[in-house]
Amino acid sequence: MTFPDFGYSRNPAFGQRGISAAAHPMAARAGAEMLRRGGNAVDAAIASAFTLSVVEPYNSGLGGGGFLLVRDGGNGAITIVDYREKAPASATRDMYIGPDGNPVPGASLDGYRAAGVPGTVAGLCRAAERFARLPLATLLCPAIEIAEHGFPADERYIANVKDRLKVIRRLPATAKILLTADGSVPPWGTPIIQQDLAHTLRRIVATGPEDFYRGDTAALIARDMAANGGLITTADLAGYSVTERDPVRGTYRGYEIVSMPPPSAGGTHLIQMLNILEGFDLKASGYGSVQTIHLMVETMRRAYADRAKYLGDPAFNKVPVAGLTSKAYAAELRASIDLAKATPSATLSAGSPVGYESEQTTHLSAADADGWVAAITQTLNTGFGSCVVPAGTGVILNNEMDDFSSKPGFPNYFGLIGSEANAIAPRKIPLSSMTPTLVLRDGRPFLIAGAPGGSTIINTVLQIIVNVIDHGMDLRMAVEKPKVHHQCLPDGIRVEPHGTATDVLEALRARGHAIIARPTFGIACAIQYDHDGATLIGVPDNRGIGEAVGV
């Protein structure tokens, strides 16, 4: 399989047999090739995900983790494959706290001690075993070929290398892969060749996940960790397991919403926010108006306050999902919104949902004419994760330990505040915002969406859904329209430059909202079935270089 050029198209794609949409054109094309070979949407998603691990080493990889949503085209059953990273067994509650009692800057982000036990290989291999039609050798073929022959460094690759250059240069095995021979940032178009990673991928073809977690690759990772003060051991790798979960479900204006359960906060708070917004007439107030933005950000503010208090690994905490996603709790939160004035976040505490009980990441989506749907969001956390590459593996390890609350009340890299529910503990899964989501209409797939972007992910998916359902936008417009973001703290509306009219921004300030400029939001991928289900439409986000390919 060859990819003779690096041209890409941001145009929507149409297909009768299926669509593959991903954050990088090589990954989208790898997925489409699986559809052409007779694979289903899961085959396409697995091939795309492994390819993204090669061509977007700053966003995801074999050393990371993620979440997969699968809809079975035969019986309509929906399964969540949770392959999120886990804390090593020797991780401790205060491992990043310094003598002054506060988190040590960079300790949970850079180097060997920042990495959690990776889950990507286990998760994608589980999906291949459970749902795919094609053999693993076929699914990994594009990733292996690109790792062996290289992909050209583009502007995004170069920018991410520059951003982590100081850390990369401190780690010889990493610098050997990502930089030129003299330690410089590769010029545009330089082939990025990853022979060690190709060898690791070939071992996965031969043994499935066994090699990565118990074989030669596991030994290489554990040996390098032990030599450099890291925490991951052979026992940690051998003990890693994937969890299959039920999705969280809700409704919005007659559509069914199916999304990520804890340990992701994504689906819970997506449904919570849609429940709140369902009580407002957003169609009448209109996209981009002062009133619509005010209602959206006041809703976001309340959901993220609850996120900080309640969300964490459900194996360690009782997460009140049913309460957080109930219509009754949403009505209580809706009533607390002043229609004309911002609520200062400092005065806003989390609600009480229990009484109602009964930016570096990547995303891809795939769907086919038989009703199979697959949506994956996976990550290393920040750009190039911890920047650690265990010698001989080619695998860049994550820095997901920063997604825990190193100290309750202190922000992580994305500015998110955490609580005891997300404190570090051995073998615990850190809280995530990943939100691959399926919208059903009359029980049939209608819209598949997801995005990278750290703390902005949930709100990006929220606005795509609202743009389609409330504002009647076509999918391309729904994905590309400027977004806003509020996460309770820091207390301000994050807006894209030139994305919101000046008079609207001034009116929002007059209501008490602070405005924070943000360069861009998560680069979404979305797929929609047309009204009769005969044609699929795929849309890449013009904020990135992604592509959608129809078959």
Q: Catalytic site residues?
A: 361
Taking Cα atoms as reference points, which of 403, 400, 527 lies closest to residue 455?
Answer: 403
* Bridge partners, 22 (sequence order): 364, 547
Counting runs of H as helices and runs of E as strands, what totals does the chain give?
19, 19
- DSSP letter, residue 116: P
Q: How far is CA 175 from the centre of its chain?
A: 26
Rounded Cα gap, residues 122 and 213, in angstroms:
8
Tell me the H-state helices in 170-252: 172-178, 195-207, 210-214, 216-227, 234-238
- What is the b/e burial string over 93-119, where b = at least 16 CB atoms within 10 angstroms of the residue's CB? eebbbeeeeebeeebbbbbbbbbbbbb
Q: Is 462 exposed, middle or buried (0-12, 13-18, 19+ CB in 10 A)?
A: buried
512 three-state secondary structure: coil
Taking Cα atoms as reference points, which of 332, 333, 306 lies closest to residue 320?
Answer: 306
Rounded Cα gap, residues 236 and 118, in angstroms:
10
265 three-state secondary structure: coil
